[in-house]
Structure 1
Amino acid sequence: MAQPHHPRLLSTPRLVTFVVSILVALGSGTNYVFSAYAPQLGSRLRISHTQLNIIGLAGNVGVYSTAPIWGRIADLKGPRMLLCIAFVGLLLGYSGIRHIYDAGLPTQADSSTKAALPGLTFWILAFCNFLSGVGGNGGLCSALNVTARNFPDSHRAAATGIVISGFGLSAFFFSTIAHTLFPGNTSDFLLVLALGTSIPMVLGLFFLRYIPLPATTTALEHGPASAEEQESLVIHGPPEVERANSRTRLLSPAAVETEVADEEEVPHVHHQQVSSHFQFPHTRNSVEMSVSPTRDGHRRSASARTRRSRSKSKEIPVKDVDGPNIHGKALAFAPDFWLLFCFMSLLSGTGLMYINNVGSISQALFAQGNPDYDETMASQWQSVQVSAISITNCLGRIVIGFTADFTKYSLQQQRSTCLTLVAALLLVSQLACLAITDVSDLWKASALLGFGYGSMFGLVPTIAIEWFGLPHFSENWGFLSLSPLLGGNLFSLAFGRNLDAHASPGSPSTSQPASLLRRAGLPADAQCFDGRSCYEASLHMTIAACTAALGIAIWLGVRDRRKLRESAASEREVVWAEEN
């Protein structure tokens, strides 16, 4: 039987798919750019901070509530359906927001009369942002699913980290384009978002596909491989002999066939220790080397390896059942799932609260005691914060991927150890924001938060694969992605109510003249000019949340290191017993 050819790990087809995955992720993360146009949206439509947070949260709900559904579709059907959904959701969502923004309020002829945004229009606006979130998550899920299956475990964290970094860089990318080509024009900015996010999804329809892993990589690292590839590995083996010892069996081709037939009735025993089959190349009589003793004395049969579950879709590679495979009801009863869920809920709630409201924070700091308040300058400070968050968000997702792989393969520690670093970064960002009183220093807190927030979303998917397995990765990650709904909704609404309470009549500091309130671009009852005191109470809440998440991370790291030591000791005992 001829050995099937599969592209090398760094082959052109795999790299093309990888680059397009980054572009799709880049078009999927514009949910983070909301704070770049939210104050202008509030100014034109006279929307309070609480209402703005509801609109922002609608986008978050669109991203995270659909994650389990999109994940299951990705696991069963592949990326194409999700890319079509992403195209429609992003195009309609941002086009709808732009249309409502351009239409403005019903009556604006008399500037002394305060027009109100109709309730139905407000909810349509929120639904449009919800659609953009639905589309963004569809694009990200498809790109992440393809990347996780196209790379082996030794490169998976770095590869997925780079792809998901495009999601984090999206806000900076689109806001830079808009401010460079259409400075100060919010309508054109929304048009750029509508077109610029939907076009990458069309590219994904043509280029996002599963690339089978090389034979040696599949055998050694147990990535997703086709049934034909697995059968070829058993009979032909990889091109080079990897290892042998005094206990190696030498079998002729006839003996191999006999052994396979004899083992047809041997039940498959699930275990962590993996058998490997190798062959000397270019020999007249093929010789198989089987290193396959297990703890219970049984060998894993070749036929059992080829009888694994096969996908009905031609696009989906055969799901590998080596290692953990936890999903569905088993996931709901897994303590590790709920620990990771709580960890993400606390930190993502902190991140979403800050990201959705950093524009208002910068305005409050810039307006405090500033008689020369200028709306254009305030908008520039908003853009600085969005750019700082987006760039460091991207860097955090890349750096944590390489850090996690280095921690596992060079330091011989579990990737979960890096969770402590993620929680510490977000905690420091909130402490820094609490100490900052000048808008020119706010970028430091924004950069720290962006790096920590990006690191969390770059690290947790790989840990989910390690703990729960690859076959249902997208579905499991979808359930984990529900966690921001709890923390994000709670923290963001609390921030909006806190800011509105400080901006109520008579609340702004008496040093702010009425003319300053008019130049602020927002009505006086929707703006706070008291600087840090406008949001200080909200930061106390997020600092407590980050401290709790840090405690969870430390416990998980210590527990997994203990498990690693126990596993290593157990393996040494097994090897000693076999040698004797």
Structure 2
Amino acid sequence: MAPSTVHKTFVLLSCTFLGLICGTLYLYLSYSPQLALQLQYLATNALSIALVGSLGVSITGPLAGLVVDKKGYTAPLCAGGSFIVLGYYVLRRQYTHAYLSVWLLCGCLFFVGSGSTFINLACLKCCAVTFPLLRGVATLLPLALYGLLAMFYSVFALVFYPGDTLGFLRFLIVSLALIFALCSPLVMLCDRRNFNGSRTVRLADPVEMANLRSGSAGKDVNLALKLAFAQSQPGPTEVYGVRLLQSPRFWLLFLILGAMASLGQMYIYSVGYMVKALVIRNFELDPVAAASLSVDMLIQNQQQLQVGLLLMTNCIGRLAAGVMGDIITQTFRRSRAWLLFVPAAGLVCTQILGQTIAGHEYLGAASMLLGFFYGYTLCIMPTIVGDVFGMENFLGNWGLVGLAPVIPSFYLTNFFGEVYDSKLTADDSGVYTCILGSHCYRPAFKVGLVVSFLALFLVGVFNFGDRYLMSRARAERRKLVM
């Protein structure tokens, strides 16, 4: 029996709300300085811990995709929900008892990242199966709103839990468990209704999203999908495996994503320390005054404000990338790869702003721009990978490209932490604080500026390289004819 429109709408809403909780990992940047103070970590340790959470998101992808394909939605949803709640529960216990273990905190965030991937992939596939003819719109909601709930939590903490990290973590655990309990049963019922029996959708094969028993329906689905990925030039040859690794275009995209995404992650995970340094500098506080409760509340409020701005513009950037991608291909008959110039140039501006902003009241401008261009990059890059290398092996190809930010993010974020730690000064009571304002981290943004110019150059090579080689080949042929 086919599901009704009302039922499918509720499934879509459930998947959307479940997808929202997958981005709560971003919340770490709003309370990481307080966590580091309570557990006596340096900035370098705290930022490395954040990267472990991102690593959990990245390396769990292939396993989560396999589980979703083989076991349906119930198993990955249960695993993902359990991982997220368990991770935050242990993190709160560690904060409460001041248990000094970097590895335990790394494990907590790794669990949160892994659980987010399990839930996200299950929701994406459920949306694609439930709406095979509107797959793009249906899957856009969980993708574009990824992390938007973290913005809500940041605002909520700003209003109801100012300076109360422990109370905020308690509220976070209870609310996430409640959202999961309310929304997951409807998605799990999709397994019982056996949607997959009549509509088989493989995440690794998005072009052939439907294998319907009805021949006419199958033609409609294939037509819709072909129109969704229509290009001005003939479709790309399917490239994967060894051929993918031998392709210069793969390595260009790999380097471009690695450079641009790592700049975004460095800022996201470090903005809490930027706020702290700027607030202390602006009010000319000494280390003792900076450690007072009132100042700590002000700093935490500003941190949560920056998180909210980042996540809001991240969502807008993802939506803008999707819309502009369709416009440039359908209206102007150009490749989506040209849109890479937008975030590449924008990230150059954010690195300049990061160096020059001297007051915390102006940091919101840099946070909004960074959030927009980071979200734009993460949304446009998968579609470019599909356009260039074909959609038959899209998941595997995108999985390889998606690993690009791991090493550069680790380097840049750790470099930021090392620079910040090198500027710390201690008072007589042993409290370490940086009172130099933007000079606490400025060298990190100078390195980031070099990386952003490199990304802009690589985008130019990617878009103009083939044209240059073709013109050279035509010139050589003309010489041979003459």
Alpha-carbon distance between aligned partners in 2 of 1:416 and 1:334, rounded to the nearest angstrom: 16
Q: Is residue 355 from structure 1 mapped to residue 268 from structure 2 by the alignment? A: yes
Compared CA separation, residues 18 and 124, structure 1 to 2 (3 A): same
Partner residue, 1:484 = 405
Alpha-carbon distance between aligned partners in 2 of 1:463 and 1:143, rounded to the nearest angstrom: 22
Could you tell me how far 1:212 is from its partner in structure 2? 10
Q: Is residue 428 from structure 1 mapped to residue 349 from structure 2 by the alignment? A: yes
Could you tell me how far 1:64 is from its partner in structure 2? 1.4
Could you tell me how far 1:428 is from its partner in structure 2? 1.3
Alpha-carbon distance between aligned partners in 1 of 2:85 and 2:446, rounded to the nearest angstrom: 38
Q: Is residue 224 from structure 1 mapped to residue 209 from structure 2 by the alignment? A: yes
Letter in 2 for 1:182: Y
The farther-off stretch of 145-154 and 353-362 is 145-154
Could you tell me how far 1:465 is from its partner in structure 2? 2.9
Q: Is residue 524 from structure 1 mapped to residue 437 from structure 2 by the alignment? A: no
Partner residue, 1:343 = 256
State the TM-score, normalizing by the size of structure 1: 0.68
Compared CA separation, residues 148 and 399, structure 1 to 2 (3 A): farther
**Match among 538, 563, 572 for residue 444 of structure 2:** 538
**Match among 366, 388, 411 for residue 279 of structure 2:** 366
Indicate if the aligned counterparts of 1:71 and 1:478 stay in contact, CA closer than 8 A: no
User: Larger Cα Rg: Structure 1 or Structure 2?
Assistant: 1
Indicate if the aligned counterparts of 1:79 and 1:142 stay in contact, CA closer than 8 A: yes
Could you tell me how far 1:182 is from its partner in structure 2? 3.0
Partner residue, 1:381 = 302
Q: Is residue 181 from structure 1 mapped to residue 165 from structure 2 by the alignment? A: no
Could you tell me how far 1:495 is from its partner in structure 2? 0.7
Partner residue, 1:450 = 371
1:222-263 deviations in Å (ceiling 9; x for gaps) = 65122413x3469xx77xxx9xxxxxxxxxxxxxxxxxxxxx
Partner residue, 1:139 = 119
Alpha-carbon distance between aligned partners in 1 of 2:465 and 2:8, rounded to the nearest angstrom: 37
Could you tell me how far 1:356 is from its partner in structure 2? 0.8
The farther-off stretch of 466-475 and 137-146 is 466-475
Letter in 1 for 2:431: A
The farther-off stretch of 433-442 and 158-167 is 158-167
Compared CA separation, residues 431 and 17, structure 1 to 2 (3 A): farther
Letter in 2 for 1:549: A
Letter in 1 for 2:37: S
Alpha-carbon distance between aligned partners in 2 of 1:427 and 1:342, rounded to the nearest angstrom: 16
Indicate if the aligned counterparts of 2:236 and 2:388 stay in contact, CA closer than 8 A: no
Alpha-carbon distance between aligned partners in 2 of 1:194 and 1:479, rounded to the nearest angstrom: 33
Partner residue, 1:207 = 187
How many residues are treated as equivalent by the alignment?
Answer: 441
Indicate if the aligned counterparts of 2:207 and 2:391 stay in contact, CA closer than 8 A: no
Could you tell me how far 1:387 is from its partner in structure 2? 1.0
Alpha-carbon distance between aligned partners in 1 of 2:157 and 2:140, rounded to the nearest angstrom: 26
Could you tell me how far 1:200 is from its partner in structure 2? 4.4
Alpha-carbon distance between aligned partners in 1 of 2:70 and 2:462, rounded to the nearest angstrom: 31
Alpha-carbon distance between aligned partners in 2 of 1:334 and 1:17, rounded to the nearest angstrom: 40
Alpha-carbon distance between aligned partners in 1 of 2:167 and 2:397, rounded to the nearest angstrom: 38
**Match among 172, 175, 180 for residue 193 of structure 1:** 172
Partner residue, 1:258 = none
Indicate if the aligned counterparts of 1:87 and 1:198 stay in contact, CA closer than 8 A: yes
Percent identity at matched positions? 27
1:321-341 deviations in Å (ceiling 9; x for gaps) = x97554444443443333222
Q: Is residue 126 from structure 1 mapped to residue 106 from structure 2 by the alignment? A: yes
1:125-171 deviations in Å (ceiling 9; x for gaps) = 21111111111122223333444566679972x55443222213232
The farther-off stretch of 335-344 and 205-214 is 205-214
Q: Is residue 38 from structure 1 mapped to residue 32 from structure 2 by the alignment? A: yes
State the TM-score, normalizing by the size of structure 2: 0.81
Letter in 2 for 1:524: V
**Match among 58, 81, 90 for residue 87 of structure 1:** 81
1:366-391 deviations in Å (ceiling 9; x for gaps) = 11152465221111111111111011
